[in-house]
Structure 1
Amino acid sequence: MRKIIPLFLLIAFGCQSNMKLDGIWEMDYTVNKSKVLYSHGTTLLDFSSDSLFFVQIGNTESGLIDTIIIEDNYYEVRDSTIRIIASNDTINLIFHSITLDSIAFSIDGSEEISVAKKLTPLKGVRVNQKDLVGKGFEVLNGEFYHKLDFVNDTILFDGGYHSFSNWSITTYKDFDFLNTTDWFFPKIPLIKRNDSIVALTNKGQDLATFKSLIAQRTKSEFIGKWLEYDREPKLPLISKLDTAQTLYITTDSIKMQRFGKIRNYVFELNNEGTVIHFANTPSPSKPFWNPRTPMEIIELTSDELTLLERHRGDSTIIKYKKAGNI
C-alpha cells in the first residue's frame, strides 16, 4: 500500500545541510497568499540522527485525545533541500529561512510556506492529571485568556468561551501537553513551579500562570423549589400555556418543568461557583455534543436566584423566587 505523508509533515522541513535538526519541533503556522493558518500545536516533528518521527498528539476529530500517533521516516539533507523517504515516496522540501529555534520551508513547487518552532527541554516538576482534576483556574497573559474548570478527569469547561471539551495530559518524552478536543485550544506544554501550574512557550518561557479560582458558592445553596417570576427579554403570549419555568434542584440534579413538560439534568457547579453546567456532556463518542447550554449565576440569595442563559448569540436573564425545600 502506498504510504501517504500527512500535509503537516510535508510542509515542515526546509533547511541547509549544516542545520542541526536533532530535537523536537512544533508546527506553528502556514502562510498562503498572505493568509496565516495556525496549527495549534497538534503536530510534533522529532528528528533523531537520520530518522524523523511524525508525532500526532491525540485525534481531535474522533475525540481520542489520550493517544499519540507516531510515524517513523528516513530523511537526508542535500544542500538547501530535505528529502523525506517513506516506503516508495520521496518528498523534496525547500528551505526558505532558518534561525536557531525555527525553520521555514515549502514543498517543491508549492506556494505554501510553513514554520516550525523548536521546543526547548523543560526544567521543573512534571504535571499530571491529578494536579488539575476538580480544580478551577484563570489563565491570563495578554491575548491568551481562558477560565478553565476541570470538572473531572475527562470533562473541561472553558468559562471564557462557554464551551465544553474532553481533556487529558498527553506526554511525549520530556513534555506534558494540556490536550483538549477543542480544535482552537492550543496544545500547550505545562510545568509545575513553586506549587503553581505554568503554561510555557516553545522556548520554555512563561506564557501564563494558572491562577486558582476561589469558590464563591456550593451546591447546597441551590437546593429547593424555584419559581420563575420574570425574564428579559419577555416571551410573547402565544397560548394559554404557563410559560413560567419551575426548577427543582437537589445536590446533583435539576428538574425543569415548563409548558407541561419535565426534563431532568445531571449538573455540576463550576469550581468558582458562578456557572451551572451539565455533566452528561460531552462524551468520548460525542465530544462536541451539548444538549443544554450552561447557565451563569448572576445572583443568589436565600430566596432569590437569577440566571443567564445563552442561545446561539442571544441571552436571556431569568429570575426565580424560592418556593420551598425539597
Structure 2
Amino acid sequence: MIAIVDAADLYYKSIVYIRPITHMDIRPPDLALLVSLNALLQENNVTRAAARLHISQPALSAQLARLRNLFGDPLLLPSESGRGMVPTPRALALRDGLRESLRQLEAAVRDPESFDPARAERRFMVAANDNVVTMFGIELVRRIAASGGKGLRAGFCEPNLDGIVARMERGELDLILGAVQSIPPQLRAVPLSSERYVMAQRRGHPRGTRAPTLKQFCALGHVLVSTKGDFHSFLDQRLGELGQKRQVVVVVPHYNLVPTILANTDYVCTLPIRFLQKFEGQLDIFKLPFDLPEFAIAMAWHPRSEHDAGHRWLREQLKSVQL
C-alpha cells in the first residue's frame, strides 16, 4: 500500500511542480536538498530514503517537489511495477557526481585529526559472523564501554558480501571482519590474526583427555557449522584425500550454538582455536591428528574511511585485541 501512495504522490508532483529552467541557480538553502536527492537516487524509494534521512515521507516528498522545480526535470518517476521509482536520464547523470561531491564536502568539514571517544557521538557498524564476533567483537565492545563516553555505539551484522562494498561506500558499514580470502579486492585490509583448527569436547568426556588418533577422530560424532545446512565441509574433503571419513551428526547455523551442544552430548567439533578458547572452562581442546592449513582473519574498510579519525581509532582497538 505504501508503494501505491508513493507512486501517486510522485506522479502528482511531477505534473504540478516542474517548470522549465534555462539556468541552474543553487543557493545555500538548496544545498541541503542535494543530500536528500543523493538518498533518493541511492534508494529509488521515498519511504526508504526518508527512513535513511530520519525525516517523514511527506517531508521528503515535498523536498523532491522542490528538487524537480530546481532541476526542471521529474528526476524520479513511478515504476511500472508499482514498487519504488525509476530515475530519469537527468537523474542518472547526476547520481555519481553528486555522491562523490557530498563525500568530498563531508571530508572537508570533518576534523581529520580529532577524535575523543569519551566525548564523541558515533555509531560503528561491523559485518562479521558470530565466530569472529566472539573472537574479536566482544573485546571491542569492552573497549568501547571502557572508553569513558556514553555517545559511542557498536552494531554487528551478518557479512553478506552481496553489495557490501556499496554499503561501505555509503557509510552504512565501517568494517568487515572475516577470512582474508573473502575480502573484496576494492577494500583495504590488514590481518588481525593467524588461526588454526583444533578439536574440542566437553569436560568429563568418556573418551578421556588424550589426543585422538585419526581413526578415533573419524569414529566420533561431529558437530558442523553451516549456514546452508551442509553436512560436508573442506575438512571432510581433506579427510577424503587421506582415505578417511568422519561422522557429521549435527549441523547448526551459528558457531555459538556448538559449545552448548557439546556440553550436553558426547559429540565433538573442529573449530578455530581462538574461538574455542573463549569456552575453555567448559571444553577440552586437542591438536588435530592430521594437518590443516592455517588461515588469516582480517579487517577491511572502504578507502573513503582511511583518514577518518574515529575510524582510525576503531581500527586501532581491533588491531590491539589479544587473547
* TM-score under structure 1 length normalisation: 0.28
Name the structure where helix makes up a greater proportion of residues.
2
* TM-score under structure 2 length normalisation: 0.28
Which is greater in Rg?
A: 2
Name the structure where strand makes up a greater proportion of residues.
1
Structure with more contact order per residue of length (Cα contacts < 8 Å, sep ≥ 6): 2
